[in-house]
Structure 1
Amino acid sequence: MTPAGNATRHVSGHGTSLIVAECFGDVEPTFQGEGPSLGVPALFIRLSRCNLTCSWCDTKYTWDWTVYDPTREAHRRDVGELADWACRTDVGLVVVTGGEPLLQQRALIPLVRRLLAAGKRVEVETNGTIAPQNELLVDGVVFNVSPKLATSGVDAAKRIVPAVLNTFSASGRAVFKVVARTPDELEEVDELVSRFALSPVYVMPEGATADDLVRTTRVLAPATTRTAPRSP
């Protein structure tokens, strides 16, 4: 197995295929669980590989090869096959998540084009450390950008890339989601919002189970309510 520190190696620039961890939402209905499309029925294409190693990550099977076997957890799939899979249903929203999808954006571009041509909407979930190519900054595509806080255990220089966050902020095609556990972390969120003019921003409670999410939500809710901007 490849060590977790080398999780981004061998991410090929193939233009017609993607390294995929899983696809779901076609047989058993599922919903987008975050951002502005919260609660909307969605299909999910989860890509493999990530350039970060967040301690609380709930999809370590996409990158942590000290624990998981990449030959079992990831498979190369043709872009046309993935587009056909998504287009066989009447679900209008396709969420491309990971891992870090923009590691494979050369092949992501033709997939997105196929999905948009079929009338789908696309949301790309990214950690905000890799700039999107112009071909992805188009109508019908929204980026759910999730900058990582210090509690992720990742060095600041790796998890916060100013030029990339500025690109997303200025694009008009991004929303921002920050995972937090305690009210103290919201100060770090405020710093990111001010530094990079992030808007809109969603705070997502961290938790691996429904009970964890409820507990964290109850801890964070009073603080987010106090700091939420007033409507004009």
Structure 2
Amino acid sequence: MTTTKPLNLEPEAAEGEALIVAECFGTEVPTFQGEGPSCGHPALFIRLSRCNLTCTRCDTKYTWDWSRFDPHEESTRQSVAGLVAWATSSPVELVVITGGEPLIQQARLVPLVRGLIAAGKRIEFETNGTIAPTPELVADGVRFNVSPKLASFGVKETKSIVPAALEAFVASGRAAFKFVASTVDDLDRIAELANAHRLAPVWVMPEGTTPEVITATTRALADGVATRHWHFTTRLHVLAFADARGR
């Protein structure tokens, strides 16, 4: 599996000026946004380290599971200026800021977002929806792909479903709600959450880390998603790049 390690742009940046980054990719080896409303769009990725959830089915445990991974090996501090310079070295317009859970570091994300927008980029945050965005992040050129985690994903919903945060994303007018699903029962739970919290638009993504599993889950869910008039997304990076890290 090919891995793109974190860029060592300015390792001496002061903590208050830096973000904790797991990896950046999409410049030397081009890639796409693999999920959600922009699936298939050329994209750059800034994956931040750390998460406030511990989902057993998480596929980026190297951003938070220090029982299995060494945080000193899996993350570095990167300056905002260095990250902006990295992103602007590419003509690709879309920058996906993901994690982990990126909004843990949102105070330091504000200058990054401002720098990227000033450089003509547009931004998508991939967030688990448990932390409301600061008003400074709710800006032109910014979208939020909010992915609330169901109990079937291996996390207690008392931790993963935060009504006040979901309401803030709804109020922003800049969010889509993307749920990972494995079964028709998951679709029923998504419907309950969407109705309770007025979540729209709803996107459903089949769980899986191999093309075979994604195809089987897609077929199991397709009728239920279509009946509810929701959007359906695949996991393009798995289909195209065999879930290789850094793609």
Q: Compute the TM-score of the two structures, normalised by the length of structure 1.
A: 0.91
Tell me, in whole angstroms, the C-alpha distance in 1 between the residues paired with 2:215 and 2:27.
Answer: 28
Is 2:89 the partner of 1:67? no
Tell me, in whole angstroms, the C-alpha distance in 2 between the residues paired with 1:212 and 1:56.
Answer: 14
Is 2:181 the partner of 1:180? yes
Q: Residue 31 of structure 2 aligns with which residue?
A: 30
Is 2:130 the partner of 1:139? no
Q: Residue 90 of structure 2 aligns with which residue?
A: 89
Instruction: Please show how residues 45-60 of structure 1 align to structure 2 within 5 Å.
Output: 45-60=46-61
Per-residue deviation, 1:222? 1.5
- Aligned identity (percent) is 61
Q: Residue 216 of structure 2 aligns with which residue?
A: 215
Tell me, in whole angstroms, the C-alpha distance in 2 between the residues paired with 1:170 and 1:131.
Answer: 10
Q: Residue 102 of structure 2 aligns with which residue?
A: 101
Tell me, in whole angstroms, the C-alpha distance in 2 between the residues paired with 1:88 and 1:156.
Answer: 40
Is 2:167 the partner of 1:166? yes
Tell me, in whole angstroms, the C-alpha distance in 2 between the residues paired with 1:225 and 1:135.
Answer: 36
Per-residue deviation, 1:71? 0.7
> In 1, are the aligned partners of 2:15 and 2:77 still within 8 Å (CA)?
no
Per-residue deviation, 1:215? 1.3
Aligned residue pairs, count: 217
Per-residue deviation, 1:161? 0.5
> In 2, are the aligned partners of 1:14 and 1:107 still within 8 Å (CA)?
no
CA RMSD of aligned residues (A): 1.2
Moved over 3 A (4+): none
Tell me, in whole angstroms, the C-alpha distance in 2 between the residues paired with 1:174 and 1:192.
Answer: 15
> In 1, are the aligned partners of 2:183 and 2:221 still within 8 Å (CA)?
yes
Q: Residue 245 of structure 2 aligns with which residue?
A: none
> In 1, are the aligned partners of 2:56 and 2:154 still within 8 Å (CA)?
yes
Tell me, in whole angstroms, the C-alpha distance in 2 between the residues paired with 1:227 and 1:30.
Answer: 31
Q: Residue 43 of structure 2 aligns with which residue?
A: 42
> In 2, are the aligned partners of 1:182 and 1:220 still within 8 Å (CA)?
yes
Q: Residue 116 of structure 1 aligns with which residue?
A: 117
Deviations 1:146-171 (A, max 9, x none): 00111122122210111000110111
AA partner of residue 173 (structure 1): R
Deviations 1:67-119 (A, max 9, x none): 01111001111110000000011000000000000000011110000000000
Tell me, in whole angstroms, the C-alpha distance in 2 between the residues paired with 1:19 and 1:150.
Answer: 28
Q: Which runs of 5+ in 2 are unaligned?
A: 1-13, 231-247
> In 2, are the aligned partners of 1:20 and 1:45 still within 8 Å (CA)?
yes
Q: Residue 77 of structure 1 aligns with which residue?
A: 78
Per-residue deviation, 1:173? 0.8
> In 2, are the aligned partners of 1:96 and 1:125 still within 8 Å (CA)?
yes
Q: Residue 7 of structure 2 aligns with which residue?
A: none
Tell me, in whole angstroms, the C-alpha distance in 2 between the residues paired with 1:176 and 1:98.
Answer: 16
> In 2, are the aligned partners of 1:83 and 1:111 still within 8 Å (CA)?
yes
Q: Residue 157 of structure 1 aligns with which residue?
A: 158
Tell me, in whole angstroms, the C-alpha distance in 2 between the residues paired with 1:214 and 1:60.
Answer: 24
**SS of corresponding position for 1:221:** helix
AA partner of residue 163 (structure 2): P
**SS of corresponding position for 1:222:** helix
**SS of corresponding position for 2:136:** helix
> In 2, are the aligned partners of 1:180 and 1:186 still within 8 Å (CA)?
yes
AA partner of residue 116 (structure 1): I
Tell me, in whole angstroms, the C-alpha distance in 1 between the residues paired with 2:15 and 2:117.
Answer: 21
Tell me, in whole angstroms, the C-alpha distance in 2 between the residues paired with 1:211 and 1:26.
Answer: 29
Per-residue deviation, 1:14? 4.2
> In 1, are the aligned partners of 2:22 and 2:63 still within 8 Å (CA)?
yes
AA partner of residue 211 (structure 1): E
- Asked which structure has the greater RCO (Cα within 8 Å, sep 6+), the reply is 2
> In 1, are the aligned partners of 2:17 and 2:108 still within 8 Å (CA)?
yes
Tell me, in whole angstroms, the C-alpha distance in 1 between the residues paired with 2:149 and 2:219.
Answer: 21
Per-residue deviation, 1:36? 1.3
